[in-house]
């Protein structure tokens, strides 16, 4: 164990939340060990401002819960304690120990056991241990640094500091074993490499192709949680590039991935949605997963809608069925809550309505609550190189007119669909 004294690192207590300091002080006060750990220590050492604070302790969840009235025990796969201070939640985890596959569920310290599936997937990980044991159970070396707010020392058991200096994302232990225990760690490797702009250690990267298929075992609900971290943390575009480069997109959105490989326009659309989301987050504007999901599945929806139209379905019916189909197909891998699938459908169906520039309907569309998102989506499609007959700039000007002028102009527009300039996919544009 490497111990770095206070004068040899740049962590200052000033940048640690009061809640986290309080939790650590009280745990120490009752005779326990307590350290700041994970992303917070990593980000503090990199000179950043952590968004949340995780604490590791030798006290059991029950003991922690008993010490803090404002706390509750959550989780099953990992039992952790949430301590609440106003809007801030401090996550307290008990040191995890080595697990023994033959271990019988032990009766001491309630639920102190782990479980693995036949393939080696870790189903439960609640064996308690020491700081050293806890360190090697973590995912990345740079996520396994501990800070003692009492002595101001940093504890490094896995060369995390060296990797932080080398700017390297390195899995702790044997990569294939760690990825097999929990395949989501592969997504975490790519996410942190993208966010921190670190390179991925070669040994770590080399194990990904052989373990990638294990992501199919991950429950759709957990993948949705991870999806949010991948694409709504402000580094979606860089993370997306990583997922493409390491071919993990195949396990998140297989159908969209196939479309993106075949059509540069499909790839460009998703990439543009990611970049636009990052930009909005940087500007503190609200973002929704529905927009990114709408972009991700659009190439599939479009393909299906076209097929149904060729079979004779009218465009709105074709779009409706295609949307239904694309969402239920995607949900086999990643669950998509209804509060997001509904706006996705509306954004897609709106794309058809935007093709009609004629009459009162077109004039009133501008005031629809989904207009903004649908219009932004249309611009994204054009930016990606989709041929919409310059529909975007028409709506850009049209929406700025007062209602009366909109009505007048919409009355002059020719024929259905604004002169028959229908949206077409540029299928000649191949990757
Ligand atoms: P951020 O919160 O900035 O996304 P983080 O590193 O704090 O990053 P969390 O998901 O909050 O990430 O997890 C906290 C810590 O728990 C991690 O730093 C890591 O040490 C450990 N951890 C999280 N997920 C796993 C996992 N799947 N396997 C092993 N350790 C993990
Ligand atoms: Mg965290």
Residue 211 is predicted with a pLDDT of 98
CA distance 105 to 111: 7
Ligand 1 within 6 A of CB of 144: yes
* 138 pocket-lining for ligand 1 (C-beta < 6 Å): yes
Cα-to-centroid distance, 38 and ligand 2 (Å): 6
**Ligand 1 in reach of 39 Cβ (< 6 A):** yes
Residue whose structure tokens are 């059991």: 60
Angle between helices 371-383 and 338-353 (to 10 degrees): 70
Query: Residue 17: how many CB atoms within 10 A of its CB?
Result: 16
Q: What is the distance of C-alpha 291 from the center of its chain?
A: 14
User: What is the model's pLDDT at position 99?
Assistant: 66
Q: Which residues contact 138 (CB under 8 A, 6 or more apart)?
A: 37, 38, 144, 158, 172
**Ligand 1 atom at minimum distance from 50 CA:** 3
Q: Which ligand is nearest to the CA of 93?
A: 1
The confidence score (pLDDT) of residue 139 equals 97
**For residue 31, what pLDDT is reported?**
96
How many other CB atoms are found less than 10 A from the CB of residue 213? 11
Which ligand 1 atom lies nearest to the CA of residue 54?
14
10 Å CB burial of residue 269 (0-12, 13-18, 19+) is buried
| Residue nearest to ligand 1 atom 4, measured at CA | 39
**Residue 422, pLDDT score:** 45
DSSP string, 149-189: TTT--EEESSSHHHHHHHTEE-BSS-HHHHHHH-THHHHHH
Nearest ligand atom owner, CA of 43: 1
**Tens digit of pLDDT at every position of the chain (431 positions):** 899 999 999 999 999 999 999 999 999 999 999 999 999 999 999 998 898 999 999 999 999 999 999 999 998 777 899 999 999 999 999 999 876 543 333 333 444 456 677 666 666 666 788 999 999 999 999 999 999 999 999 999 999 999 999 999 999 999 999 999 999 999 999 999 999 999 999 999 999 999 999 999 999 999 999 999 999 999 999 999 999 999 999 999 999 999 999 999 999 999 999 999 999 999 999 999 999 999 999 999 999 999 999 999 999 999 999 999 999 999 999 999 999 999 999 999 999 999 988 888 888 898 898 999 999 999 999 999 999 988 999 999 998 998 888 988 888 887 554 444 444 444 444 43
Distance 369 CA to ligand 2 centre (A): 35
The answer to whether residues 387 and 355 touch, using CB atoms and an 8 Å cutoff, is no
Task: Looking at the CA of residue 42, tell me the nearest atom of ligand 1.
Answer: 6
Instruction: Name the residue with the closest Cα to ligand 1, atom 17.
Output: 38
Q: Does ligand 1 have an atom closer than 6 angstroms to the CB of 157?
A: no
CA of 188 to the centre of ligand 1 (A): 8
Task: Tell me the domains of the chain and their CATH numbers.
Answer: 2-166 (3.30.460.10), 254-412 (1.10.3090.10)
> In this structure, what token pair is assigned to residue 165?
């200096």
Task: Tell me the catalytic residues.
Answer: 52, 54, 139
Token code pair at residue 188: 């975490």
Give the rounded distance of the alpha carbon of 8 from its chain centre: 34
CB distance 414 to 358 below 8 Å: yes
Please provide the size of the chain in residues.
Answer: 431
The torsion angles phi and psi of 213, rounded to 5 degrees, stand at -60, -20
Within 8 A by CB and 6+ apart from 426, the residues are: 265, 385, 386, 387
The alpha carbon of 327 is separated from its chain's Cα centroid by a whole number of angstroms, namely 18
pLDDT of the residue at 360: 83
Q: Is the CB of 34 under 6 A from ligand 1?
A: no
Nearest ligand to the C-alpha of residue 37? 1
CA distance 186 to 246: 10
Residue from 138, 160, 163, 231 to probe ligand 1 pocket by mutation (most atoms less than 8 Å from CB): 138
Quick one: DSSP state of residue 424? B
What's the alpha-carbon Rg for the chain, to the nearest Å? 26
Max CA distance (Å), the chain: 80
**What digits encode the pLDDT tens for the residues 87-129?**
999 999 999 987 654 333 333 344 445 667 766 666 666 678 8
* pLDDT score for 205: 98
And the tokens for 28?
Answer: 């120490």
Ligand 1 in contact with 54 (CB < 6 A)? yes
Considering the entire predicted model, what is its pTM? 0.89
182 lines ligand 1 (CB under 6 A): yes
Per-residue pLDDT at 293: 98
* pLDDT value for 107: 37
Question: CA-CA distances (angstroms) from residue 74 to 93, 204, 359?
Answer: 10, 31, 56
Read off the tokens for 380.
């994204």
């Amino acid at each position: 164990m490497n111990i770095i004294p206070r004068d040899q690192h740049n962590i200052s207590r000033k940048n640690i939340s009061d809640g986290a300091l309080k939790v650590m002080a009280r745990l120490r006060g009752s005779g326990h060990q307590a350290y700041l750990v994970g992303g917070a220590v990593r980000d503090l050492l990199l000179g950043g401002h952590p968004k949340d604070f995780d604490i590791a302790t030798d006290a059991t969840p029950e003991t922690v819960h008993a010490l803090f009235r404002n706390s509750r025990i959550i989780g099953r796969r990992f039992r952790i304690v949430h301590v609440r201070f106003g809007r801030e939640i401090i996550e307290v985890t008990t040191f995890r120990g080595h697990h023994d596959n033959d271990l019988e569920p032990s009766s001491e310290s309630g639920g102190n056991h782990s479980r693995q599936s036949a393939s080696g997937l870790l189903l439960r990980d609640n064996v308690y241990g020491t700081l050293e044991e806890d360190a090697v159970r973590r995912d990345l070396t740079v996520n396994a640094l501990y800070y003692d707010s009492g002595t101001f020392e940093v504890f490094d058991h896995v060369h995390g500091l060296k990797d932080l200096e080398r700017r390297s994302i390195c899995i702790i232990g044997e990569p294939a074993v760690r990825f097999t225990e929990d395949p989501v760690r592969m997504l975490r490797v790519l996410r942190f490499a993208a966010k921190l702009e670190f390179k991925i250690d070669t040994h770590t990267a080399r194990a990904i192709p052989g373990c990638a298929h294990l992501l199919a075992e991950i429950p759709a609900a957990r993948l949705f949680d991870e999806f949010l971290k991948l694409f709504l943390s402000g580094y979606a575009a860089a993370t997306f590039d990583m997922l493409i480069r390491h071919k993990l997109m195949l396990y998140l959105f297989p159908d969209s991935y196939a479309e993106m490989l075949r059509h540069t326009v499909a790839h460009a659309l998703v990439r543009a949605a990611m970049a636009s989301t990052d930009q909005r987050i940087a500007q503190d504007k609200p973002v929704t997963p529905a927009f990114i999901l709408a972009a991700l599945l659009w190439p599939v929806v479009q393909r299906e809608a076209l097929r149904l139209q060729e079979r004779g379905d009218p465009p709105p019916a074709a779009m409706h069925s295609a949307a239904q189909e694309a969402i239920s197909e995607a949900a086999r891998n990643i669950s998509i809550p209804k509060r997001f699938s509904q706006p996705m459908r509306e954004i897609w169906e709106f794309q058809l309505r935007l093709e009609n520039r004629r009459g009162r309907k077109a004039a009133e569309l501008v005031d629809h609550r989904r207009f903004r998102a649908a219009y932004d989506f249309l611009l994204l499609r054009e930016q990606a190189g989709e041929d919409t007959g310059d529909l975007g700039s028409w709506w850009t000007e049209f929406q700025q007119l007062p209602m009366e002028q909109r009505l007048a102009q919409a009355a002059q527009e020719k024929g259905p669909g604004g002169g028959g300039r229908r949206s077409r996919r540029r299928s000649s544009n191949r990757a």
